[in-house]
């Protein structure tokens, strides 16, 4: 069975975006970039919530024309080549070959063949999948910034979930990965 891995960038104070929705603070040094790219290359499906999907679909198809960042240039072809799914209660279709799925239907996708499902970012999608017991692993990369507010890494859920620390790892002398399994 495929695993659902929630991979998210966080500030030290636990936010995935700042008070004004800003996401200009993650420090993607060479080590973190290499880890993120390897994780993405192993994924059988890139999974997004509706909000994050809007950002991704607006950038990655033509990222090379908007950025000269080495991470962006390396990730864009991976993004285009990897199957994608969007968790949404409101969308009926998604561009760039992505399929739209409901959180309740993700168990079927998880039971299918292929690599793991990599849920990238998001709060509500992660909470919905967590509440359904579908997330197998949480990978939180903590960056050296305090945002003072914004969207939290974890939206309020239905219950407490005990996790097991599987790995910690520092990247580029700046960021720390906290990898937990359920």
Q: Looking at residue 145, what is its pLDDT?
A: 98
Q: Looking at residue 121, what is its pLDDT?
A: 87
Q: How confident is the model at residue 9 (pLDDT cuts 50, 70, 90)?
A: very high
Instruction: Tell me which residue range forms the domain holding 177.
Output: 4-181
Domain count, the chain: 1
Whichever domain contains 84, its CATH number is 3.40.430.10
- Four-residue CA torsion sign, 39, 106, 81, 1: positive
DSSP string, 65-115: GT---HHHHHHHHHHHHS-EEEE-SS-S--STTPEEE-GGGHHHHHHSSSS
Q: Looking at residue 178, what is its pLDDT?
A: 98
Average pLDDT, the chain: 95
Integer Cα distance of 29 and 31 in angstroms: 6
Average pLDDT over residues 45-58: 94
Task: Indicate if the pLDDT at residue 32 is higher than 80.
Answer: yes
pTM above 0.85, yes or no: yes
Q: Looking at residue 45, what is its pLDDT?
A: 97
Average pLDDT over residues 27-36: 96
> Tell me: the pLDDT tens digits for 86-130?
999 999 999 999 999 998 889 899 999 999 999 998 889 999 999
In the block, tokens 């219950």 appear at 159
Residues of the chain above pLDDT 90, percent: 88
CB environment 42-68: b (16+ within 10 A), e (fewer): ebbbbbbbbbbbeebbeebeebeeeee
């Amino acid at each position: 069975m495929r695993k659902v891995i929630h991979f998210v960038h966080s500030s030290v104070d636990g936010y995935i975006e700042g008070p004004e929705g800003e996401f200009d603070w993650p420090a993607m040094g060479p080590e973190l970039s290499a880890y993120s790219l390897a994780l993405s290359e192993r994924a059988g499906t890139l999974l997004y919530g509706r909000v994050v999907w809007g950002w991704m679909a607006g950038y990655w198809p033509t990222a090379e024309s908007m950025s000269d960042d080495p991470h962006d240039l390396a990730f864009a072809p991976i993004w285009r080549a990897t199957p994608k799914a969007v968790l949404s209660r409101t969308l009926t279709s998604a561009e760039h070959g992505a399929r739209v799925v409901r959180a309740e239907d993700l168990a079927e996708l998880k039971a299918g063949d292929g690599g793991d499902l990599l849920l990238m970012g998001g709060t509500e999608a992660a909470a919905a999948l967590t509440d359904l017991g579908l997330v197998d692993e949480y990978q939180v990369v903590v960056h050296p910034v305090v945002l003072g507010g914004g969207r939290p890494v974890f939206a309020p859920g239905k219950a407490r979930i005990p996790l097991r620390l599987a790995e910690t790892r520092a990247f580029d002398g700046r960021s720390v990965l906290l990898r937990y399994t359920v």
